[in-house]
Structure 1
């Protein structure tokens, strides 16, 4: 009886060890990104997207100031700040030129 249980445990262990590497090594998407950005993307970013991002940041700040009393009532001032000011500012100032991802 003890020998059969020992064999069963050995078989289950081997099957488990064979099954794990296939799922651990699986990768949904590649972890690298092509660093090459073409000149057209850079020009569009510098001439159109960045100025619009500055306008969006300033307008978002204005809307944030107007919405602060309502956000305070709902206790989500931080969420409003992030959505109206931080995200447009990051889009405008914190990403590489020509990178729209």
Structure 2
């Protein structure tokens, strides 16, 4: 296939996927007793999308954030905000990638 046909096919498929109606989730009974998980009640589609798309992107964001943190470390040290830079560039993406339940939209980790 030439470049024009490939591009047209990708655009047509993308437009078709974007035109699909939004899927309304039904909140199901949860027997785990965890209020965070019960409030979210993720479906199987949410879990599959999370493990296939969101988690790899969040792990990549953690790695990129770590690189940016190392680059910005001299400036953060001069400004006195090394902890805040580490938390925002590395900690937040890592918490969302590794602590959040599968398919949930909120992280279960609360640092007090």
TM above 0.5, yes or no, is: yes
Q: TM-score, normalised by structure 2?
A: 0.60
Which of 61, 67, 85 aligns to 2:66? It is 61
Q: Post-superposition shift, 1:35?
A: 5.0
> Which structure is richer in relative contact order (CA contacts within 8 A, separation 6 or more)?
1
Moved over 4 A (4+): none
Which of 94, 98, 101 aligns to 1:89? It is 94
Q: Is the 2:40–2:105 contact (alpha carbons within 8 Å) kept by the matching residues of 1?
A: no
Partner of 2:56: 51
Q: Post-superposition shift, 1:71?
A: 0.3
Unaligned runs of 5+ in 1: 1-30
Q: How does 1:32-51 map to 2 (within 5 A)?
A: 33-51=38-56
Q: Post-superposition shift, 1:37?
A: 1.3
User: What is the total number of aligned residue pairs between the two structures?
Assistant: 71
Q: Which one has a larger percent helix, Structure 1 or Structure 2?
A: 1
Q: Over aligned residue pairs, what C-alpha RMSD do you find?
A: 1.5
Partner of 2:79: 74
SS state at 1:95 partner: coil
Q: Which of 85-94 and 36-45 deviates more?
A: 36-45
CA distance in 1, matches of 2:55, 2:63: 12
SS state at 1:34 partner: helix
Unaligned runs of 5+ in 2: 1-34, 107-112
